[in-house]
């Protein structure tokens, strides 16, 4: 086996080796298989075998032969990539994939060692790693075997239109549609993002950086709404309470979501209504309780009976109800989000939601 740097044409050959990814997340991580870059810093290597070495059904012929191994008979059987993550600088993303026929032969381990060696002398050197895998997959087993351990679990859940009925109809004065660039939204998002990434700490970011990275048009942000703490309807002065001085308890940001075949195939409608055929609106729903929770990852302490938790759960349900009246929505919820997890679990039990994807983020030291 020869391991060499990624070369032009290898991406096309690797597509033949690995076939279609089973989930949209799988498509995303395969984008790491590309030429080396300095901004962001990334490195990629591929493994090749001669025809006489490759197992039956092994990968595809190397695309250009421009690497150190440039024989026409070389067969691509795997790749590994490592890249920096500006939003989470304490770890680097890594993705390793091996042709099915060549697994359990140490190819993945060799690829990981090679790509780490190639990253020596860069900002990636000696950084702990993170990888995203499907639970129960060969990738998870391989990662755990070399010392990776769970950081958190993520579910992408589709909520049916009208799943929460008219909940929140009496809270309209607390509901506010806002611009994605608003200061109130950006501050809330910044606090929430830092809080729900305790297991994989986020970079310190200015308000402007948060907005550019997560809430700008370039980031795909489409619309936003806030729910503020319930008010009495009157301020201390006796005048009508506008609500804008009350704290934000929950926010939501919708994102443009281009449809693709994999997403369509992965989606099982959770409602038989005509709107079940609509693609779900991708929504980030953030509870400020989750940002301040003491729990970390899958070891979260059960505080579900606490009044503050129940209040936060009610607020999250109200905002979701207002934003899913007549359209399905897709939420990404991690095990670092106790309030949102409880809300989603209740909807799943009631048959008003369905899990589209589940994946585990693993970390190494």
State residue 359's pLDDT score: 93
Q: Which CATH class is domain 154-360?
A: alpha beta
State residue 245's pLDDT score: 76
Query: Would you list the domain boundaries of the chain?
Result: 2-147, 154-360
Q: Which residues contact 314 (CB under 8 A, 6 or more apart)?
A: none
Nearest of 191, 190, 195 to residue 214 by alpha carbon: 190
Query: For 285-319, how does the pLDDT look when each residue is reduced to its tens digit (9 = 90+)?
Result: 999 999 987 644 443 445 788 999 999 999 999 99
- Given the candidates 2.40.50.100, 3.30.710.10, 3.30.70.270, 3.40.630.30, the CATH classification of the domain at 2-147 is 3.40.630.30
State residue 242's pLDDT score: 57
State residue 327's pLDDT score: 92
State residue 269's pLDDT score: 36
State residue 19's pLDDT score: 81
Q: Are 290 and 196 in contact (CB under 8 A)?
A: yes
Share of the chain above pLDDT 90, in %: 66
Mean pLDDT of 62-67: 47
Confidence band for 278, pLDDT divided at 50, 70 and 90: low
Confidence band for 346, pLDDT divided at 50, 70 and 90: very high
Query: For 26-61, how does the pLDDT look when each residue is reduced to its tens digit (9 = 90+)?
Result: 888 899 999 999 999 999 999 999 866 655 555 555
pTM of the model: 0.82
Q: Which of 8-12, 114-118, 221-225 has the lowest mean pLDDT?
A: 8-12
């Amino acid at each position: 086996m020869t391991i060499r740097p990624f070369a032009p044409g290898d991406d096309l050959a690797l597509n033949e080796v690995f076939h279609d990814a089973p989930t949209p997340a799988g498509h995303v991580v395969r984008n790491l298989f590309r030429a080396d870059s300095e901004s962001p810093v990334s490195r990629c290597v591929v493994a090749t075998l001669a025809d006489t070495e490759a197992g039956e059904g092994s990968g595809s012929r190397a695309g250009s032969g421009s690497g150190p191994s440039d024989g026409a008979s070389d067969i691509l059987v795997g790749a590994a990539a490592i890249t920096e993550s500006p939003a989470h600088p304490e770890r680097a993303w890594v993705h390793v994939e091996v042709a099915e026929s060549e697994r359990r032969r140490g190819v993945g381990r060799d690829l990981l060692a090679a790509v780490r060696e190639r990253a020596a002398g860069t900002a990636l050197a000696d950084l702990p790693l993170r990888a995203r895998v499907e639970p129960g997959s060969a990738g998870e087993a391989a990662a755990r075997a070399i010392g990776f351990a769970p950081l958190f679990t993520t579910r992408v859940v589709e909520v049916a239109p009208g799943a929460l009925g008219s909940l929140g109809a009496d809270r309209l004065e607390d509901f506010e549609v806002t611009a994605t660039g608003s200061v109130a939204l950006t501050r809330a998002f910044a606090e929430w993002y830092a809080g729900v990434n305790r297991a994989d700490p986020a970079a310190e970011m200015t308000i402007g950086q948060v907005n550019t990275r997560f809430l700008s048009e370039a980031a795909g942000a489409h619309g936003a709404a806030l729910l503020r703490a319930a008010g009495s309807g009157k301020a201390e002065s006796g005048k009508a309470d506008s609500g804008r001085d009350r704290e934000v308890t929950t926010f939501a940001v919708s994102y443009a979501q281009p449809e693709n075949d994999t997403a369509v195939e992965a989606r099982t409608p959770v409602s038989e209504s005509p709107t079940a055929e609509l693609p779900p609106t991708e929504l980030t729903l953030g509870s400020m309780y989750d940002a301040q929770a003491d729990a970390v990852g899958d070891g979260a302490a059960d505080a579900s009976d606490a009044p503050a938790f129940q209040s936060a759960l009610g607020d999250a349900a109200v905002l979701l109800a207002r934003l899913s009246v007549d359209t399905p929505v897709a939420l990404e919820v991690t095990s670092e989000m106790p309030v949102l997890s409880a809300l989603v679990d209740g909807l799943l039990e009631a048959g008003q939601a369905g899990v589209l994807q589940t994946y585990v983020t693993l970390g190494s030291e």
